[in-house]
Amino acid sequence: MTGGLEGSDWACERGEKWVSQLPFMEATLAPIDEPLISALQIDGPLRIADIGCGGGGTTLEAARRAPTGSIVDGFDISPALIETAGARPSPSESGVNFEVADASTAPAPEPAYERLLSRFGVMFFGDQSAAFANLRRWLAPGGRFAFAVWGPVGENPWMTSAAEAVSTVIDLPPGPQIWRSLHSRRASR
Ligand SMILES: C[S@@+](CC[C@H](N)C(=O)[O-])C[C@H]1O[C@@H](n2cnc3c(N)ncnc32)[C@H](O)[C@@H]1O
């Protein structure tokens, strides 16, 4: 579920908008971190990469939970978000770095990571198959990849409630995928 956005949108204006709303967005999404990071099974000092790390909230949380000696790197296509993430204080026990990269095409880092995670950062690839094939190369043999993505837009009140409320007052014009989904949901009632 991308809502029609792609990585290239995030690289400029969309990334800057996310920066401006960072405290609210991170507070809203924070409950995802516990199940996401638990699914990673960080069972020793590991090399961990956060894909589409945004302002770095999940990267820093993973670093707090990882044992001393771990390396936790955050990658994002948005320079504005990486600059914001890099300015945040990080836990001293783990090495935390942030880097601008298009994770769908960037060459695999050397050495590869033992863990990859992503909180809603892998939904915007233009070519999903090619992007995940690329990320497979980022992952060391036997590694783990845990990511959170939204389900279908029609089952996601967080994306639809505002448009649904407006649609009780006015007819929504043809537009984003979210609206089309609302139209078809109403038609099937
Ligand atoms: C919904 S935000 C989530 C940010 C962060 N993971 C969080 O949960 O706060 C999606 C993030 O994915 C990043 N992104 C989108 N396409 C990307 C790509 N191809 N490579 C790297 N990052 C990408 C965006 O810049 C944005 O920061």
**Contact between residue 111 and residue 49 where contact means Cβ atoms under 8 Å apart:** no
Candidates 1, 24, 53: which one to mutate for ligand 1, based on the most atoms within 8 Å of Cβ?
53
Q: Residue 97 forms beta bridges with which residues?
A: 73
Give residue-wise pLDDT tens across range 56-113.
Answer: 999 999 999 999 999 999 999 999 999 999 999 988 767 899 999 999 999 999 999 9
| pLDDT at position 45 over 80 | yes
Query: What is the pLDDT at residue 38?
Result: 98
Q: Which residues, listed in sequence order, are joined to residue 119 by a DSSP beta bridge? A: 148
**The Cα angle at residue 144 between residues 141 and 150, in degrees rounded to 5:** 140
- What domains appear along the chain, each with residue ranges and CATH number? 7-148 (3.40.50.150), 153-187 (no CATH)
Per residue in 112-167, pLDDT tens?
999 999 999 999 999 999 999 999 999 999 999 999 999 887 788 877 888 888 88
Q: Tell me the average pLDDT across 9-19.
A: 91
**96 phi and psi angles, rounded to 5 deg:** -120, 130
d(CA 6, CA 189): 32
At 29 the three-state DSSP class reads helix
CA proximity to 165, closest of 175, 173, 157: 157
* Integer Cα distance of 163 and 172 in angstroms: 8
Query: Which residue type occupies 158?
Result: W
Q: Which atom of ligand 1 is nearest to the CA of 22?
A: 9
Residue with the smallest CA separation from ligand 1 atom 17 is 7
pLDDT per position as a tens digit, 162-185: 888 888 898 877 766 666 666 566
In degrees rounded to 5, what are phi and psi of residue 44? 175, 180
The two structure tokens encoding residue 74: 């955050």
- pTM confidence score: 0.89
Q: Band the pLDDT of 1: cuts 50, 70, 90.
A: very low
Task: Give the Å distances, CA to CA, from 162 to 72, 168, 178.
Answer: 36, 10, 11
Q: Which atom of ligand 1 is nearest to the CA of 10?
A: 25
CA diameter of the chain: 56
**Which residue in the block uniquely carries the two structure tokens 């204080």?**
89
The secondary element (H helix, E strand) that includes residue 4 is: none
Q: What residues does ligand 1 touch, defined as CB less than 6 Å away?
A: 7, 10, 15, 18, 25-26, 29, 52-55, 57-58, 75-78, 81, 102-104, 119-121, 124-125
